[in-house]
A and B are shown apart, each in its own frame.
Chain A
Amino acid sequence: MLFTSLIFLYLFLPVTLIVILISNPKFRNPLLLLASLVFYAWAGVSFVSVIIGSILINYLIGLRVGNTASPGSRKFWFILGVTMNILGLVIFKYSDFLLDNLNILTSLFKFHPLHLSNIVLPLGISFFTFRGICYLITVKRNELPPNKNIIDLGLYLSFFPALIAGPIDRYRHIEPQLTRRKINATLFARGVNRIAIGLAKKVIISAPLAYVADHIFSTDIVTINMPLAWLGAFSYMLQIYYDFSGYTDMAIGLGQLFGFQLSENFDFPYISRSIQEFWRRWHMTLSSWLRDYLFLPLAYSTSRKLKRERYIGMRVDNMIYGIAIMITFFICGFWHGAAWNYIVWGVVFGLLLFLEKTWLGKKLRKGPKVIGYVYTLLFVLLAWVIFRSPNLKFAAAFLKIMFGIGGAKIEWIRFTGYADREFLVMAIIAILGCTKLFSLLLQKLKKLMSDSEGIKAAFAFHGYYLFSALFIFFVLTYSTMSMITGTLQPFIYFKF
């Protein structure tokens, strides 16, 4: 069930909200867990067993890790728990990919290929697996005791607003909210506002950009020319940001409706001056998860093994950083999808980060700001091409075309065909939205509301709320109409 579907917005959400709002607070968590399982079941009823299995495993192993005194035993249970989480992910998400590649290798030795019956990827498995591992690490590090209430833990792992696309909240951030949260009008209204922002980003802004990107990336590569390739890459760059951040806005807003404060996931990533800064601003809950639970432990364990000051002419700290960052971003890429283009996408970022750490970073900091912005945007854009392409071959050809190597004859009429009025309007709004312009305007308005007095302040105050209300209902109406239009399926053979 997508947040941008009629059934979610006009059936699941109102029913769940009304039930939660009228229920006794002590029943809210069980009811929310039930709602989350129904939400999950909508993607495939049989998948519910996967998430229930994950809840049970993390609950039982978490108790073992937390309640065992012996460090060896704790370590054993912890490793078992993490392994089981990862194993679930490997089986459901990566087995086909691994087997395909194994078959390619074994075919060199004339072995018969192995086959698996079709394994369907359960919804959100990457996200709840990372939340499960986060919970076990939190307990292992004694940051919090294991949760004795399986309902509460289940809700942390499967809370429907964050189930499909995050944010990947830390257990220590959510745990207090599981037992001590309140639903109030201010938070609820803020949530409504955030949902509207998310809907606007996803349905109004992202959709026309996706239209262009989807068509260009699904076209036969021989039909793509240089302007189209840049247009496709640019559209996708904006689309993925508005799509993903819009979805996250909705997740955060939905959380607020139920009294939860989920973590922020984006902080204007396209105004970064380096790749390092980009990853501090893009999918923040994932990058901080990877930093704390993968990069830092890897760097720490590598540093214990490397005793010399230099290795192959490189300073040991750079060497440690290089190894840890490459592994981290290899896994980051692989986490995004079981295909080589995701891995290469991750590795490219790993390399860029290594370059910035060892050489480029200083130059970027010292140079004019604009160079940092252009460098970051260019490499992020090129990396998105690898990410969006159906395979590496397509990505390589597409990138070549972008730089004038090969490609179809340039016909501007095709370019202008895509870049129509709707696209241009939305692209301009999208570009402005990538900067802090709207955010600064809002801050100014809020400052005016709080600082000034008299008619000016009253005007700003009432204007703000009335505008908010109008914005919310415009977005709801427009998005609903767009969702409906998406359900129309004309039968084209009727005139005979």
Chain B
Amino acid sequence: MKARLALIYSLIISALFLAWISVPVTTKVLNLVKTDTISKQEKRVLAIKPEFNIQNPDPYPAKYNKYYNDHFPLRQSLANFQTREIRLKLFNRPPDLDGLYVGKDGWLFIGYERDLWEKTKPYTKEDVKLIVQILHKRALAYKAKGIKFYIVAPAMKSEIYPEQNPPFFYRVTDSVMSDLVAAALEKDTVIKFVSGKDISLKYKAKGLLYQITDTHWNDRGAYYTYVGLMDLIHKDFPTVIPLSESQFTYVDSVNSGNMAVQLGLKGFYTEHIPVLRIKNKRAVPGDRTGYVPPPEFTGNTGLEVVRLVNDPDLPKAIIVHDSYGGALRPMLSENFRKSVFLFDGWYYGPNWETIDKEHPEIVILEIYAAHWNHILRWK
């Protein structure tokens, strides 16, 4: 009797296992689950089914793997379920993803900041010299056209909040690579440089300056660096006066940062983010200049934003920026009669075409401190 029952159990387990592992194939064959071509959560295009090339068959398996993984039924829902309902509840910790690390108390960090901490990658000390040379040359070229060149570098989150870093973010020496670039730029006589790191460290005690679950700073973090930049510009252009804190209202926004969203933790990992609203906004949208973004962003008109202030005494500025510039934009817009914001796809280029068209008095380069190596493409 027991043997018979044991056999029945074995049959049930075997059949269930076979059925279980066959579910994805079955759904695929019967076309039961439609998969997307884009992952909204990961913000990327999913792999397409590769063609088998008899002439060069070796890459096929890896490509097919990627395609299969990307289109696995209920992929995102299952991963999110594990992250939210199992890992977070049991271990109080979401998983690390490729290039995205979990620090203490749920703080999230971009992985490549670690390389800069370890001072090994992505650029060498020789590169540091080259970066400064390139920028110096650019500053001279701008100067020849009567343009003042300012550089502002928002700091890496891991630099401002090292106490929240994952345990493997470890500083080898006192300075990281971005510090070497900053130190060299500070000595440069043509470039006017604002170190977001110095400012953020100075004002850290005033309140949270960065978003816990996002790659970026918050409006408060952006504001203090904005003031630092404006103070510098004010020396050259006395009409430029930074907005004071009393000209803003703070609004508390509860949200999930970009990294929390990518981990599938939207709504689970939330934080209070201070949002600054300018009380008496002067800047209004202006017509785009016709800026042509880099080829990979062709057609994306959101990469150029123009703001106008009806005050002829203010200078005109072109601001080349990355995603950190998003929080600076409303503030900067108030200080120039025309502000042209260019997001040039992390090229951080001189953007001569727009400059020759607009003839600004000021060019501001806002560059996230982990991205100095991007300048090397202009050597």
Contacts of B216 in A (CB 8 A): 495
Distance in angstroms from B156 CB to nearest chain A CB is 13
- Which chain A residue lies CB-closest to B85? A481
**A contacts with B: majority SS:** helix
| Contact yes or no, A493 B346, CB < 8 A | yes
Distance in angstroms from A480 CB to nearest chain B CB is 7
Interface 9-residue window, one of B58-66, B225-233, B238-246: B58-66
| Contact yes or no, B10 A189, CB < 8 A | yes
Q: Is B291 among interface residues, defined by CB-CB distance under 8 A?
A: no
Partner of B2, one of A461, A485, A489: A461
Contacts of B12 in A (CB 8 A): 469
Q: Is A18 among interface residues, defined by CB-CB distance under 8 A?
A: yes
Q: Is A27 among interface residues, defined by CB-CB distance under 8 A?
A: no
CA gap between A125 and B288 in the complex, in Å: 62
| Contact yes or no, B21 A13, CB < 8 A | yes
Instruction: List A residues 415-430 near B (Cβ within 8 Å).
Output: 415-418, 420-422, 425
Partner of A192, one of B13, B168, B346: B13
Tell me whether A490 and B98 are in contact in the complex, defined as CB-CB below 8 angstroms, given that A46-B58, A192-B13 are known contacts.
yes
Q: Is A44 among interface residues, defined by CB-CB distance under 8 A?
A: yes
| Contact yes or no, B118 A223, CB < 8 A | yes
| Contact yes or no, A422 B93, CB < 8 A | yes
Q: Is B37 among interface residues, defined by CB-CB distance under 8 A?
A: no
CA gap between A74 and B170 in the complex, in Å: 62
Contacts of A465 in B (CB 8 A): 6, 9, 13
Partner of B79, one of A45, A415, A481: A481
| Contact yes or no, A484 B78, CB < 8 A | yes
Q: Is A103 among interface residues, defined by CB-CB distance under 8 A?
A: no
Q: Is A111 among interface residues, defined by CB-CB distance under 8 A?
A: no
| Contact yes or no, A481 B86, CB < 8 A | yes
Contacts of A494 in B (CB 8 A): 43, 258
| Contact yes or no, A185 B10, CB < 8 A | yes
| Contact yes or no, A10 B72, CB < 8 A | yes
| Contact yes or no, A11 B43, CB < 8 A | no
| Contact yes or no, A489 B97, CB < 8 A | yes
Instruction: List A residues 448-496 near B (Cβ within 8 Å).
Output: 449, 461, 465, 468-469, 472-473, 476, 478, 480-482, 484-485, 487-496
- Which chain B residue lies CB-closest to A225? B170
Tell me whether A45 and B10 are in contact in the complex, defined as CB-CB below 8 angstroms, given that A18-B22, A420-B91, A495-B323 are known contacts.
no
Interface 9-residue window, one of A214-222, A341-349, A434-442: A214-222
- Which chain A residue lies CB-closest to B73? A10
Q: CB-CB contacts of B76-98 with A at 8 A, as 1s and 0s?
A: 00110111001100111101111
Q: Is A186 among interface residues, defined by CB-CB distance under 8 A?
A: yes
Give the size category of B's interface with A.
35 or more
Q: Is B326 among interface residues, defined by CB-CB distance under 8 A?
A: yes
Q: CB-CB contacts of B343-365 with A at 8 A, as 1s and 0s?
A: 10010000000000000000000
- Which chain B residue lies CB-closest to A189? B10
Distance in angstroms from A193 CB to nearest chain B CB is 8
Instruction: List B residues 163-196 near A (Cβ within 8 Å).
Output: 166-168, 170, 172
Instruction: List B residues 3-61 near A (Cβ within 8 Å).
Output: 5-7, 9-14, 16-18, 20-25, 41-44, 57-58, 60-61
- Which chain B residue lies CB-closest to A423? B91
| Contact yes or no, B100 A490, CB < 8 A | yes
Contacts of B334 in A (CB 8 A): none
Contacts of A193 in B (CB 8 A): 13
Q: Is B301 among interface residues, defined by CB-CB distance under 8 A?
A: no
Q: Is B219 among interface residues, defined by CB-CB distance under 8 A?
A: no
The chain B residues found within 8 Å of chain A, CB to CB, are: 2, 5-7, 9-14, 16-18, 20-25, 41-44, 57-58, 60-61, 64-65, 68-70, 72, 75, 78-79, 81-83, 86-87, 90-93, 95-100, 104, 110, 118, 120, 166-168, 170, 172, 214-216, 258-259, 262-263, 303, 322-323, 326, 343, 346
Q: A11-B68, A421-B90, A488-B98 are in contact. List 19 more A-B contacts (CB 8 A).
A: A7-B69, A10-B21, A14-B22, A17-B21, A18-B18, A186-B6, A188-B14, A189-B13, A192-B17, A215-B167, A216-B168, A222-B172, A420-B93, A421-B92, A461-B5, A461-B6, A478-B86, A484-B75, A485-B95
Q: Nearest 8 pairs between A and B by C-beta?
A: A417-B167, A189-B10, A481-B82, A490-B262, A422-B91, A487-B69, A45-B57, A465-B9
The chain A residues found within 8 Å of chain B, CB to CB, are: 1, 5-7, 9-11, 13-15, 17-18, 41-46, 185-186, 188-190, 192-193, 211, 215-216, 219-220, 222-223, 408, 413-418, 420-422, 425, 449, 461, 465, 468-469, 472-473, 476, 478, 480-482, 484-485, 487-496
| Cβ contacts A to B, 9 pairs, < 8 Å | A11-B24, A15-B25, A45-B58, A220-B120, A408-B170, A490-B97, A490-B100, A495-B214, A496-B303
